[in-house]
Amino acid sequence: MLFTYRSYDEDELRVVNRIFEMREALRSYVQQEPRRWSGLLSRITRAKALRATNEIEDIHVSDEDALAVIDNTDPSEADRETYSAVRGYQEAMGFILQQVRRPSFKFSLDNILAIHYMITQHDLKARPGQLRPGWIGVRSTRTGEYVHEGADRAILNDLLDELIRYMNAPNEAKMLQAAMTHLNLTIMHPFSDGNGRVARGLQTAVMANDGVIAPIFSSIEEYIGHNQQEYYDVLAEVGGGSWNPERDAKPWVRFCLTAHYRQAGTHLRRIQEVNNTFKEFYTLVLDNNLPPRCALALVEASMGLKVRRASYILSADVSENTGSRDLTAIAEAGLLIANGEKRGRYYTASRQILEIRDKARPPKMTYDPFKKKSYKPGEGLPLFS
């Protein structure tokens, strides 16, 4: 028996409909004629989710090194073990998101074990690609006491079989199916380590299997990473300390719906912000007799990242020598600030760039979707011109 949630209540359905409206706006953006900054924003969005989901497990990398993982380039700060851990998760997600695109795809124990192997292959104590051999408990990081124990090992294989059937079953409420997949796998805790990362990855994969929207806009990993304590608290509340599938999953469902709602709002704000700033940056680089492609470096810096040559080369699609010359010229124009020397050099936004960004940045949506009963038409959606 799994944790179940049969259907949304009236308030939840209202929030779901609002999320669908926001996702429709996101899909319209994805399907539009590609903009010069679309590829860069996609890479940064993936990097932010990658960084956040690993931070939950105390695996810390900078935004720049998360982007380096996405770009398959060398890190600037992370040690080899940390970089390997983050890269393993990226490879696992790349694997499963490619798999779900196949028309004949079905979730199976084999592909779940493959995901686990890729995520934990850097740590042999996690028994990569294998189910745990016996009992497992989760300790509180604050007190050191056990706060949760996984499902009894004797029933674990049957539970996984049931979960896989559930994941493969037709379900119009795909967000609910994805959320309950995450909940069940996390609470049963089938692995010695890596359970949270596998569960979060599978939630994204179930959403991606819907085929409605690009996976980068389906993931709530960034939101969870920024709301870790709430995430832990709601799992503890619903789980009750062990495998108790009779408990009410409503708090978890509402947490996930809130996460989808706010993450969609974050994506829409970023799209509008980058769309607005790019126009300003494009004019700015032309006024400084710089190639138009240099505006991409200003976009990256305006989002708070340290711009490195490897990243700019991919964004602008130029050679190493051209990339170096461009960045030097942008800094000489006073638009970026150069830091470090030689291979360690990076560039940050000048005050002028930050001021342009601040003026273009839309306000955040901070309200609780379960408390706000009505919305203005188009509220929170990006306006392009």
Q: What are the residue ranges spanned by the domains of the chain?
A: 10-266, 270-360
CA 80 to chain CA centroid, nearest Å? 22
Tell me the two tokens of residue 366. 């901070």
Q: How many CB atoms lie within 10 A of CB 253?
A: 21
- The values of phi and psi at residue 304, to 5°, are 90, 10
pLDDT in tens, 188-226: 999 999 999 999 999 999 988 766 556 677 889 999 999
Domain at 10-266: CATH architecture: Orthogonal Bundle (1.10)
* pLDDT 10s digits, 51-80: 999 999 999 999 999 999 999 999 988 999
Residues of the chain with pLDDT under 70: 30-34, 210-215, 366, 372-385
Fold of the 270-360 domain: Arc Repressor Mutant, subunit A (1.10.10)
Virtual CA dihedral for 318, 319, 320, 323, nearest 10 degrees? Answer: -30
Nearest residue to 175 via CA among 18, 67, 385, 44: 18
Handedness of CA 49, 53, 55, 59 (dihedral sign): negative
Tell me how far CA of residue 53 lies from CA of 57, 58, 367, 375, in angstroms. Answer: 7, 9, 24, 31
| Residues 310, 68: Cα–Cα separation, whole Å | 8
For residue 346, give the nearest of 112, 77, 36 by alpha carbon: 77
Contact 325, 310 (CB under 8 A): no
DSSP 79: -
The pair of three-digit structure tokens given for residue 249, joined into one six-digit string:
């999953």
**Phi-psi group of 289: left, alpha or beta (phi > 0 → left; psi -120 to 50 → alpha; rest → beta):** left
Q: Quick one: which of 304, 296, 298, 382 has its CA closest to 48?
A: 304
How much of the chain, in percent, has pLDDT values that exceed 70?
93
| CA–CA gap between residue 53 and residue 167 (Å, rounded) | 21
Cβ(148)–Cβ(236) under 8 Å? yes
DSSP string, 1-41: ---------HHHHHHHHHHHHHHHHHHHHHHSPPPTTHHHH
Q: Chain-wide mean pLDDT for the chain? A: 91
In this structure, are residues 349 and 319 in contact, taking their beta carbons and an 8 Å threshold?
no
- At 78, which amino acid appears? A
Looking at residue 341, what is its pLDDT? 87
86 near 69, Cβ under 8 Å? yes
Backbone angles phi, psi at 338, to 5 degrees: -80, 135
The angle subtended at Cα 260 by Cα 256 and Cα 265, nearest 5°, is 145
Q: Which residues touch 276 (CB under 8 Å, ≥6 apart)?
A: 360
CB count in 10 Å sphere of residue 24: 13
- Give which of 341, 259, 278 is closest to 76, Cα–Cα: 341
Q: Classify residue 294 by its DSSP letter.
A: G
Q: What is the DSSP letter of 126?
A: G
Residue listed under structure tokens 């189910």? 131
Q: What is the number of residues in the chain?
A: 385
pLDDT of residue 230: 95
The torsion defined by the Cα of 14, 15, 20 and 21, in degrees rounded to 10, comes to: 80
